[in-house]
Amino acid sequence: MLITFGAAVCGPSARAQQPGQAWQIQVRKYSDSHDWADALRIVDQQISLFPDDLDIRAWRAQVLTWAGRLPEAEHEFNEILKIDKSDPDNWMGLATVYMRRGRSEEALKAADQAIELDPNRADLRATRAEILQAKADSNNAHVESPRALSLDPSNSDVRSGPSSIPGAPKEELRFGFDQDAFSFAPANRDQWVTLVSKWTPRWTTSAAGSFYQRGGLNARHFIGSITRSQPHWGAITIGGATAHDNGVIPETEAFFELDHGFKISEDRPIHGIEVLYGQHWYWYTTARILTTNETAIVYLPRDWTWSIGLTEARSHFSGTAVDWKPSGQTRLSAPLAHWSERELTGNVFFAVGTEDFAQVDQIGSFASQTYGGGLRLRFTARQDVTAYGAFQQRTQDRAQTSFGFSYGIRF
């Protein structure tokens, strides 16, 4: 009777434990071979059997992280932490996601929460040191690494330090093509290439060259800028451009932009707001143009964003008075699909306004409404393609149709 009773009580637990170990082994096997679909299928089966088991949900978040589906992994970790904030592994999992998404301040806060829960774990200290290294906070990183080593001297990952961890890509090279087709004039085209270099977490440079075909004339254009980022006050960008203009594009340009973000909440409808202000001067052969730009970007759940922008253009032509004209635009962007490391995002936009100049095709005066949208496909962790299309209805029964595409690689 005792044997029978013991089997009845302990049997279900033993039977549950063995399959549990088996499914974890299978998940690791599929993850090692980058078969994320089957790995997630097994985890989801376990969640359907044990919907209240947070450990299984943490496995799902981890697989999403390995698969590069970072928005979903972030959401999963945050949902777990709403229920239970006592597991340092979940805080560190969230910190890792934040770090991979370039949000080092949030990553550091999540890592601090993990270490507060378990200050004697060497792996937590080592991960925090990586985050500090990514933030270019080398002094604190060198302090944190010895702490981790003293807690676990045998850990080779800790001993090697943050310098042994492959860094995020520092360069982005992008090639693109644009075309504007008009109902009243021949088409305009341009081909361009840009190189963005992140020298340190605080300094970034950008250089771009464009080749234009405008009404049978060719023009060349070079633009460069430098950005300084600071965690507490945001970023400032200054730059300029010069061109072999042939009378169809600006001869020279100068600009600056200020950027500041405000984090609101992880669980409210609005996660944060980013505010940008900029001024741009264009010097044509026969005109002087100044534009001021104000943009607000609202960050919504599930990586949706909504932006609203206003532009005021001050134009001064030879022999005419100074004139101001307004315009505005709004854009809604959202992730559309994920397949392993591949991610598809899309956007739609609308713009309306009146102008006394057109930046890329002519100098003139008109009012317009523009409708358009775009897609971005990231097909590897470091490569993507983008495409867009737009239709603009102008006064005097004129129309413009625009489209373009680009390819980018990060290294």
Q: Strands (DSSP E) along 26-85, which ranges?
A: none
Give the whole-angstrom CA distance, residue 161 versus residue 155: 10
Instruction: Determine how many CB atoms are found less than 10 A away from the CB of residue 335.
Output: 16
Give the whole-angstrom CA distance, residue 253 versus residue 94: 43
**Intra-chain end-to-end CA distance of the chain, in Å:** 68
DSSP 303: G
Nearest Cα to 253, choosing from 326, 392, 357? 357
Give the whole-angstrom CA distance, residue 167 versus residue 408: 19
> What is residue 140's predicted lDDT score, i.e. its pLDDT?
41
Residue indicated by tokens 């496995």: 59
> What is residue 29's predicted lDDT score, i.e. its pLDDT?
86
DSSP 35: -
Q: pLDDT means per 10 residues in the chain (411 residues)?
A: 38 39 85 86 90 91 89 91 91 88 81 86 78 53 38 38 48 95 91 93 92 91 93 87 91 95 78 92 89 93 90 79 85 86 89 63 67 92 91 90 95 87
Give the whole-angstrom CA distance, residue 158 versus residue 151: 10
Q: Give the tokens for residue 390.
A: 């737009």
Give the whole-angstrom CA distance, residue 119 versus residue 78: 22
> What is residue 15's predicted lDDT score, i.e. its pLDDT?
34
Q: Are 209 and 220 spatial neighbours (Cβ–Cβ below 8 Å)? A: yes
